[in-house]
Amino acid sequence: MLIQNTTNSFIDTLRHRRQRLANLIDFPAIIWSGGSSPRNFPANRFPLRASSHFLYFAGLPLSNVAIRLEAGKLELFMDDPQPSSALWHGEMPTRDEIAQKMGADGARPMAELELWLEGTATIAVQESATWTQQSQLLNRWVLPQSPPQGIDLELAKAITSLRLTHDDAALAELRKAAAVTVAAHKAGMAATPKAKLEAEVRAAMESVFIAQNMTTSYNSIVTVHGEVLHNEHYHHSLQPGDLLLADVGAETETGWAADVTRTWPVSGKFSSTQREIYNVVLAAHDACIAKIYPGVEYEDIHLLAATVIAEGLIDLGILQGNAEDLVQMDAHALFFPHGIGHLLGLDVHDMEDLGDLAGYEEGRERSDRFGLGYLRLNRPLRPGMLVTIEPGYYQVPAILNDPKLRSKYQNVVNWQRLSQFADVRGIRIEDDVLVTTEGSEVLTAALPNDANTIENLSKI
């Protein structure tokens, strides 16, 4: 990867991004790449994940370098590889070669960076050795968990405004991530009939990424306990009556992500209760995507999902009352407790390193409503935004057995009827949807989501 050949159009894209940044700020910025983190001893490290902001402007997954951006120009700060490293790592590209690949306007050794700090803004890198270095060099705390201040905040706002919508080069990478993710989900469905453990299905899916020199963009969820929303265990055995929920997405070598969920029956056949709920979730999914259009508020998409799910559960006799009223009182959140989705780009929750700066329109804040508080995106949609649409239905014991919630919602839930749906612990259907001037394009549309096709794909 490090030594990939780059093209003129790649360099033009990077220069265009840098120029757009220059149009928004009148001070220099230094963006560090970050380095890898040690695992159990210094020489045994987690794979490098360069900072997304660095990748956006520099394009290459480099370790321990920095770029200084001013007036559209990029200066690379990087040390040439040690001669002794050739034994262990082979011939590495030099600073000048790297500078050329990213279309830099200059290149200097890392030690010179300290001469170029005055008046520069930065963004904290997650990896601790680097944010410590950022803090020391700039003589102020640059902490990944603290909101940026002053010119750092101005820089963060400028970068989020750029990264909110994707250019053609970004979309090309995002389409690659989506395509490989679609293949992985098909592989997971195909592997299910012979699999005894969740882990075996996960292996079939992630090996598709590894074979393409991609990685997961987040820790995969592959579970028969979809009601545990962030389930990162894979030890359960697969039983014929189970639904398997797989939330698995690829990340390309330059950091662009996909994020897709499908839920399929282990036996290759949904039970009638599973199919009924599945179709409620799918109806919400389809209604949301149909509504995506420039100018539409993402919060309204979320509320639409909530309403369609409430309607479906009323039809099934699980909820009682009027759908709008139920959503108003957050009754949908008993079964759909998370947000309808989020921004997607270089990060699977794009730019979440900056808190809600990217996700929430200026002046807006998270709601404290049970049914809205987990919404990660609250902005009007614009062409070029990529969002996930991921409605779900879950029977979360921590919610449904909560005495306060049971009491508050005792008259709107038919608990007797609900008990007939005990074999539906968790369903989610998630696609990656690009906002276009005409409405939307589903980047992951090649992966079927209707119940019959899903059944066929997960049969022997």
State in angstroms the smallest separation of the CB of 397 from a copy of itself. Answer: 7
Beta carbon nearer to a copy of itself, 75 or 206 = 206
Closest CA to 259 of 292, 220, 286: 220
Q: How far is the CB of 3 from a copy of itself (least distance, A)?
A: 8
Closer Cβ to a copy of itself, 179 or 199, answer by number? 199
Task: Read off the tokens for 195.
Answer: 């699999």
The nearer residue to a copy of itself, 66 or 348, going by C-beta atoms, is 348
Smallest gap from Cβ 130 to a copy of itself, in A, equals: 11
Minimum CB–partner distance for residue 160 and a copy of itself (Å): 13
Pick 231 or 274: Cβ nearer a copy of itself: 231
Query: Which lies closer to a copy of itself via its Cβ, residue 180 or residue 314?
Result: 180
CA distance 142 to 29: 13
Asked whether the beta carbons of 100 and 76 are under 8 A apart, the reply is no
We find the least distance from the C-beta atom of residue 175 to a copy of itself, in angstroms, to be 20
For residue 166 the two structure tokens come to 């994707």
Q: What is the dihedral of CA 278, 282, 283, 289, to 10 degrees?
A: 170
Q: Provide the 10 A C-beta neighbour count for residue 87.
A: 7
* List of residues 6+ apart from 207 with CB closer than 8 A: 187
Closer to a copy of itself by Cβ: residue 255 or 312: 255
Binding residues vs a copy of itself (CB under 8 A): 1-2, 37-47, 49, 51-52, 83, 86-91, 126-129, 144-145, 197, 199-200, 202-204, 206-213, 218-219, 225, 227-231, 233-235, 255, 337, 346-349, 351-353, 396-399
Find, among 35, 57, 28, the residue nearest to 131 by Cα. Answer: 35
In whole angstroms, the minimum distance from the beta carbon of 380 to a copy of itself comes to 24
Shortest CB 450 distance to a copy of itself, Å? 29
Which residue's CB is nearer to a copy of itself, number 145 or number 416?
145
Among 425, 366, 419, 363, residue whose Cα is nearest residue 394: 425
Total count of residues recorded for the chain: 460
Q: What share of the chain is helix, strand, coil (3-state, %, to 5)?
A: 40, 15, 45
Q: What residue has token string 């909560």?
A: 402
Q: Output the smallest distance, CB 72 to a copy of itself, in A.
A: 26
For residues 144 and 128, what is the distance between their CA atoms, to the nearest angstrom?
Answer: 9
Q: Are 393 and 338 a contacting pair, CB within 8 Å?
A: no
Nearer to a copy of itself, 205 or 314 (CB): 205
Question: What are the structure tokens assigned to 181, written together?
Answer: 């993710």
Do 432 and 388 touch, CB atoms closer than 8 A?
A: yes
